Homo-oligomer: A and B are copies of this chain.
Amino acid sequence: MRIEAGSRLLMIGDSVTDCGRAHPVGEGLFDALGKGYVAYVSGLLDLRYPERRIRVTNMGTSGHTVRDLAARWTRDVLDLAPDWLSVLIGINDVWRQFDLPLQVEQHVPPEEYEATLDALAAAASPTLKGLVLMAPFYLEPNPRDAMRARMDEYGQAVRRVAERHGAIFVDTQARFDAFLAHWYPASIAWDRVHPNTTGHLLLARAFLDAVEYEWT
């Protein structure tokens, strides 16, 4: 498994990451890591690699886009000096284009999205041992659905940013697609965005596979 003993892993994103974490800094007692994939990643790391003592911090904030991440990047990422960083952002960047189509100032267009994410990766990379970029996803299996197609564009942008920075890319959408071949989206998320426990376990597994977690 690639995350070294003694590392600090910071995971940032939107409401899928946040999940009720402690603010302003998501670590400490009593569900401070939130109730989603971040807590699962932390727990599974501790169970399998108890001697590595990896410190996980959840810096997700509900409703945020990559634009919001940029505004708090120094305080919420750089100042905390993580060794590993994972980013899962973009869902709101796309969603607002579809649920609030007329409030254009809330939309983050793909060019801005990719450029911003690129800049954030560049700013963080020098001091990181590992960077993981997770694609935003939409729990809609039909690739011709307008919002799904748009989300795929953003996912491709994440893939390109990852390649440019030598980061690990996690194709969360592909993972969900495999699952949705068997189950209808409503069984894990009525709104096709906020997954239930099963969906968060999927995200945790996707992340852990990407860092070469040994399951057995």
Contact = CB atoms under 8 A, between A and B. Distances in A.
Given A142-B142, A198-B42, A216-B215, A99 B47 contact: no
Contacts of A46: 179, 183, 198
A50 interface: yes
Determine how many copies of this chain the complex contains: 8
A191 B147 CA distance: 14
A145 B33 CA distance: 28
Nearest to A63: B29
A1 interface: no
Q: How large is the interface on A (under 10, 10 to 19, 20 to 34, 35 or more residues)?
A: 35 or more
A39 interface: yes
Nearest to A27: B103
Interface string A37-70: 0011011101100110111000000000000000
B99 A184 contact: yes
A182 B51 contact: yes
A101 interface: yes
A78 interface: no
A198 B35 CA distance: 11
Contacts of A44: 201
Given A142-B145, A145-B142, A215-B216, A99 B197 contact: no
B50 A179 contact: yes
25 contacts: A27-B103, A28-B100, A28-B103, A29-B99, A31-B196, A35-B197, A42-B198, A43-B202, A44-B201, A46-B183, A47-B179, A47-B198, A47-B202, A50-B179, A50-B183, A53-B182, A98-B184, A98-B186, A98-B187, A99-B186, A101-B184, A142-B142, A147-B184, A191-B191, A216-B216
10 tightest A-B CB contacts, nearest first: A215-B215, A50-B182, A43-B198, A55-B102, A99-B186, A190-B191, A98-B184, A43-B201, A39-B197, A98-B186
